[in-house]
């Protein structure tokens, strides 16, 4: 099976702009989660989607949003970018409740 695919791999944006990141989960996985990884804060949970419904949301401002489509593909959007949004954004998909999350290679976002 193909792994979790994230596009693009790298993004450079300017403060105030918005950005959309894309994630294709492993075939058959209905749970898709997003995480932000930074050197200072580590890995932080953004949100989880299951069957097109947001099931959980982390402690991030409303500028961060996401959605999941009927084919389980997911997108994450960040509006009004700030310098502090520079990070590696990781998407992960899961098969069932007790199974591990499988992570994509991430999108490296740099905000200048």
Partner 1 sequence: ELKVEQNPLFLSMQEGKNYTIYCNYSTTSDRLYWYRQDPGKSLESLFVLLSNGAVKQEGRLMASLDTKARLSTLHITAAVHDLSATYFCAVTPLNTGNQFYFGTGTSLTVIP
Cβ closest to partner 1, residue 75 vs residue 95: 95
* Inter-residue contact 106 to 37 (CB < 8 Å): yes
Stretch that binds partner 1, among 18-26, 38-46, 64-72, 79-87 (CB under 8 A): 38-46
Largest CA distance in the chain: 40
The burial of 99, by beta-carbon neighbours within 10 Å (0-12 exposed, 13-18 middle, 19 or more buried), is given as exposed
Cis geometry, peptide bond prior to residue 8 (ω within 30 degrees of 0):
yes
Residue 74 CA to residue 80 CA, distance in Å, equals: 20
- The length of the chain is 112
Stretch that binds partner 1, among 17-25, 27-35, 68-76, 79-87 (CB under 8 A): 27-35
75 binds partner 1 (CB under 8 A): no
34 binds partner 1 (CB under 8 A): no
56 binds partner 1 (CB under 8 A): yes
Cβ closest to partner 1, residue 9 vs residue 15: 9
73 binds partner 1 (CB under 8 A): no
28 binds partner 1 (CB under 8 A): no
100 binds partner 1 (CB under 8 A): yes
């Amino acid at each position: 099976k193909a792994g979790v695919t994230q596009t693009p791999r790298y993004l450079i944006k300017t403060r105030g702009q918005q950005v959309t990141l894309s994630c294709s989960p492993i075939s058959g996985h209905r749970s898709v989660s997003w995480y932000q990884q930074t050197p200072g804060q580590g890995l932080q949970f953004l949100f989880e989607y299951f069957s097109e419904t947001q099931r959980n949301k982390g402690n991030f401002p409303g500028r961060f949003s996401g959605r999941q489509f009927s084919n389980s593909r997911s997108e994450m959007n960040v509006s009004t970018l700030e310098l502090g949004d520079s990070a590696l954004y990781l998407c992960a998909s899961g098969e069932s409740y007790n199974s591990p999350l499988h992570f994509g290679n991430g999108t490296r976002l740099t905000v200048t």
